[in-house]
């Protein structure tokens, strides 16, 4: 299937992110957004009231994304330049969805624990954490190990969503994995 990046950003990516579970008006964090192959279709999908926070430590890539957002007249994209820190300056339960796409392999397993804990803090109850676990074989862990760590941080696995999707600058058939931020019931809830 031949899909250009432009077709991905304007059409296929929007449909894919709908299938993943992102809806109109959602507030979404794209952690490790790079030049926005997911942020751009996500911004189009959640328009007009939803917002995309495209975060990266690669500031040049974010400058490119900012220009693309301007060309696409997307005023609902917020660019967040960081120095790679895991703890972020957002309040608790701020996001409806967080994307961790093709970024896990930048972290070792200890850092992943911290990352998932922070993502849990930032997500609304039962909200969606979607992972695209590329290149993890480079690190010393596997997808089942990641799922175990996520379980310990109260994420439950819901579905695997497969399709032709963007990877770096091309489109391939691959899968992302959805998890939900369960809220633990305390004695008072029972």
Catalog residues that contact ligand SAM under the rule CB under 6 A.
32-34, 37-38, 55-58, 61, 82, 84, 101-103, 106, 166
Choice between 27 and 103, CB closer to ligand SAM:
103
Least distance from ligand SAM to the Cβ atom of residue 100, Å: 8
Q: Rounded to the nearest whole angstrom, what is the least distance from the CB of residue 152 to ligand SAM in the complex?
A: 21
Q: Quote the least distance from Cβ 186 to ligand SAM, whole Å.
A: 32
Handedness of CA 91, 93, 97, 99 (dihedral sign): positive
61 sits in the region (left: phi over 0; alpha: psi -120 to 50; else beta) called alpha
Q: Which is nearer to ligand SAM, 49 or 168 (CB)?
A: 168
The least distance separating ligand SAM from the CB of residue 136, rounded to whole angstroms, comes to: 12
| DSSP E strand stretches across the chain | 27-31, 51-56, 77-81, 95-101, 123-132, 155-167, 170-181
Residue with smaller CB distance to ligand SAM, 138 or 185: 138
Residue nearer to ligand SAM on the CB measure, 101 or 180: 101
Query: Residue of minimal CB distance from ligand SAM?
Result: 32
- Cβ-based nearer residue to ligand SAM, 11 or 126: 11
The pair of three-digit structure tokens given for residue 70, joined into one six-digit string: 């301007």
The nearest distance, CB 81 to ligand SAM, in angstroms, is: 9
Distance CA 3, CA 88 (A): 35
> Is-contact 179 155, C-beta < 8 A?
yes
* Residue with the two structure tokens 């608790």: 92
Q: What whole-number distance in Å separates Cα of residue 187 and Cα of residue 150? A: 23
């Amino acid at each position: 299937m031949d899909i250009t990046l432009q077709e991905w950003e304007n059409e296929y990516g929007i449909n894919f992110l709908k299938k993943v579970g992102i809806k109109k008006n959602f507030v979404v964090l794209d952690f490790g957004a790079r030049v926005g192959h997911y942020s751009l279709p996500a911004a189009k999908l959640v328009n007009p009231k939803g917002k995309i926070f495209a975060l990266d430590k690669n500031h040049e890539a974010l400058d490119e994304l900012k220009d693309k957002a301007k060309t696409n007249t997307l005023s609902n994209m917020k660019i967040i330049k960081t120095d790679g820190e895991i703890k972020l300056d957002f309040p608790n339960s701020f996001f409806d969805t967080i994307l961790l796409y093709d970024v896990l392999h930048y972290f070792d397993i200890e850092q992943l624990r911290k990352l998932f804990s922070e993502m849990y803090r930032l997500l609304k109850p039962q909200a969606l954490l979607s992972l695209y676990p590329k290149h993890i074989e480079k690190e010393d862990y596997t997808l089942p190990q990641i799922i175990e760590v996520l379980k310990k941080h109260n994420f439950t696995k819901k579905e695997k969503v497969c399709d032709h999707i963007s990877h770096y600058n091309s489109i391939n058939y691959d899968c992302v994995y959805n998890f939900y931020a369960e809220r633990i019931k305390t004695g008072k809830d029972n």
